[in-house]
Structure 1
Amino acid sequence: MEQRHLGRTGLRVSRTGLGTMTWGRDTDEQDAADQMKAFLDAGGNLVDTADVYADGEAEYLLGRLLDGYVPRSEVVIATKAASVPYSERRFDGSRAHLLQALDASLARLGTDHVDLWQLHAYDPATPLEETLHALELAVSSGRARYVGVSNFCGWQLAKAATWQLAAPGRVVVASAQMEYSLLQRGIEREVLPAALDLGVGLLPWSPLGRGVLTGKYRHGMPADSRGASSDMGPFVAAYLDADSRRIVDAVATAADGLGAAPIEVALAWVRDRPGVVAPIVGARNSGQLRASLGAEGLTLPHEIRNALDDVSAPWKGYPDHDWSQA
């Protein structure tokens, strides 16, 4: 699998990442091991998790796989902190919380450092400079090699990245993990331009439009799908409208013409967008993951890429469009 630099850093990661949000919840240890083997065999190295996935069980599970099964040096571990479930304070970017969360993640993962430590979300109740200082401490203490953010809007990303670039020697914001797919192109308004200008690499989450771009929902609701589950149903339902169906049909048509699967077309489209380093692909089992890994051998022809761009183009108004020509 091809590797890419993470933003303007020397860290090289596979251009597809393995997500673990289902690990410890819908994916048991054997399924996780099968996924890891398939991913490593395909040349992947970037594995993304978070301290709140399955209440920490995803990190525990990943740590057990690293304990004798997978050489630590072969895996780029990315995790996140700042989310506080079951609390009045949904996000906590305080230095105290973040560093405590990092230590807990390291204990669950069974390692002395993570390769990429990410802020899971922006905390408006904590001064940003305090939050960013926690990232500095994580790197200077050796507990993290690189840092990034997740789910930041455009001005939040620009402020954080610029603050870190303002003084020589500060650790740069290497990445921004954001939802991005043919069904969700909202980051193209402000986040993507900021990332490109500031050298921040994009790690798209839910690159398959919450599973809808696979085409599995074109003719109904599969009983064993996330869309049919009580906890994930509303998450998927947001992309089951008429506009989304039109885009999914276009992806299916493109796939038929290329002799590929819709999942491969959708992933190849987002993987090769400007600024994107590696889409993070989550799967419940190794079969689903292998279907996603099939995109590695696909590069979309310009005509098909342009057609998909057009059918999925987000509406842009002032000031995003070139208002000087109005």
Structure 2
Amino acid sequence: MEQRQLGRSGLMVSRLGLGTMTWGDGTDPNEAASQLAAFVEAGGTLVDTADVYADGVSERILGQLLRSLVDRDDLVVATKAGLTPRGYDASRRHLLAALDRSLDRLGVDHVDLWQVHAHDPATPYEETLAALDEAVASGRTRYVGVSNYGGWQLATAATWQRAWPGRCPIVSDQIEYSLLQREAERETVPAALDSGTSVLAWSPLGRGVLTGKYRTGIPADSRAARDRLEEFVAPYLGEQSSRIVESVATAADGLGVTPLAVALAWVRDQPAVASALVGARTTAQLRAVLLADDLTLPDEIRDALDDVSDV
């Protein structure tokens, strides 16, 4: 699998990253182990988790697998902090305490990439970013990034870090990005390109909708059929989304591949994107994604999909 530079740093990550939000919440440890083994076998290196995924269980499962299944040095381990049951908290107090708890659950002395999970309007930028600097200076993380930052938020943070020698650069912004969610192209992607920050695209398959599984209804085993996740998928089940999904299916038929492969290739190769983060409940689902990674879209197909999904 192709390895790409993350931001202007020396860190290289696989162009597909393994998301672990379902680990401990729908994906048990044995299935997680199978997923990680398949991912590493395919040449994947970037594994992304967060302190809030399954209330920390995702990190614990990954930590167990780092000790029993794979060599820690073969992976780029990324985690996040800044969300709580009460909302956002990117204060210095919360972030550094959350990082220590993450390291304990993972069973490591450092992570490779530590990300602020979301912008916290109640905490000054300088406080949040100083916590990131301290995390790097103390050796608890090698690189720092943000997540779900809009364009002006990313530009502010990246500029602040570049304004004084010795501050740690923001190397990535993890955002939702797919053919069904292209709002990032208005400001966030341009801000990333201007600041030398990479995009890590979460939900590149449009919360599963771009696979075509919802074209004729809601499968009983899908996310949309689960009460807790129904609202997560519902925004992408409307008429406009349906037109995009049908266009993806048409392109897939013409290329002799799956809709999943078309949708994934589109976002994976967009400007500024270093890696598309894919999550799966089962190893079978993940293997289908990994097999789809070989596709590069012809320019005429990419242009047609750009037109039909234009923001």
Map Cα deviations across residues 72-112 of structure 1 (whole Å, 9 max, x no partner): 00110000000001x2xx01111011000000000000000
Q: More deviation in 289-298 or 182-191?
A: 289-298
Superposed counterparts of 1:74-153, under 5 Å:
74-85=74-85, 87=86, 90-153=87-150
Residue in structure 2 matched with residue 39 of structure 1 by the alignment: 39
1:295 Cα deviation after fit: 2.4
Superposed counterparts of 1:264-303, under 5 Å:
264-303=261-300
Residue in structure 2 matched with residue 175 of structure 1 by the alignment: 172
Separation in 2 of the partners of 1:249 and 1:220? 14
TM-score normalised per structure 2 = 0.99
Q: Does 1:216 align with 2:213?
A: yes
Structure 1 runs (4+) greater than 4 angstroms displaced:
none
Superposed counterparts of 1:45-64, under 5 Å:
45-64=45-64
Quote the sequence identity (%).
66
Unaligned runs of 5+ in 2: none
Separation in 2 of the partners of 1:295 and 1:141? 40
DSSP-derived class of the 2:165 partner: coil
Residue in structure 1 matched with residue 161 of structure 2 by the alignment: 164
Unaligned runs of 5+ in 1: 315-326
Separation in 1 of the partners of 2:54 and 2:135? 24
Separation in 2 of the partners of 1:111 and 1:293? 27
Map Cα deviations across residues 266-287 of structure 1 (whole Å, 9 max, x no partner): 0000000000000100000110
Separation in 2 of the partners of 1:127 and 1:225? 40
Superposed counterparts of 1:190-205, under 5 Å:
190-205=187-202
Query: May I ask how many residue pairs the two structures share in their alignment?
Result: 311
Superposed counterparts of 1:296-311, under 5 Å:
296-311=293-308
Map Cα deviations across residues 171-224 of structure 1 (whole Å, 9 max, x no partner): 100000000000000000011100000000000001000000000000111001
TM-score normalised per structure 1 = 0.95
1:153 Cα deviation after fit: 1.1
1:68 Cα deviation after fit: 2.5
Partner AA of 1:269 in structure 2: W
1:67 Cα deviation after fit: 1.1
Residue in structure 1 matched with residue 234 of structure 2 by the alignment: 237
Q: Does 1:2 align with 2:6?
A: no
Map Cα deviations across residues 98-129 of structure 1 (whole Å, 9 max, x no partner): 00000000000000000000000011111110
Partner AA of 1:123 in structure 2: D
Separation in 1 of the partners of 2:210 and 2:132? 35
Partner AA of 2:52 in structure 1: V
1:296 Cα deviation after fit: 1.8
Separation in 2 of the partners of 1:124 and 1:252? 40
Residue in structure 1 matched with residue 73 of structure 2 by the alignment: 73
1:225 Cα deviation after fit: 0.3
Separation in 2 of the partners of 1:297 and 1:224? 27
Q: More deviation in 291-300 or 30-39?
A: 291-300
DSSP-derived class of the 1:182 partner: coil
Residue in structure 2 matched with residue 321 of structure 1 by the alignment: none
1:52 Cα deviation after fit: 0.2
Partner AA of 1:274 in structure 2: P
Residue in structure 1 matched with residue 203 of structure 2 by the alignment: 206
Map Cα deviations across residues 18-47 of structure 1 (whole Å, 9 max, x no partner): 000000010000100000011000000000
DSSP-derived class of the 1:107 partner: helix
Q: Does 1:249 align with 2:246?
A: yes
- Equivalent position to 1:186, from 178, 183, 186: 183
Separation in 2 of the partners of 1:84 and 1:12? 30
Residue in structure 2 matched with residue 318 of structure 1 by the alignment: none
Residue in structure 1 matched with residue 26 of structure 2 by the alignment: 26
Separation in 2 of the partners of 1:122 and 1:297? 35
CA RMSD of aligned residues (A): 0.5
Separation in 1 of the partners of 2:254 and 2:138? 52
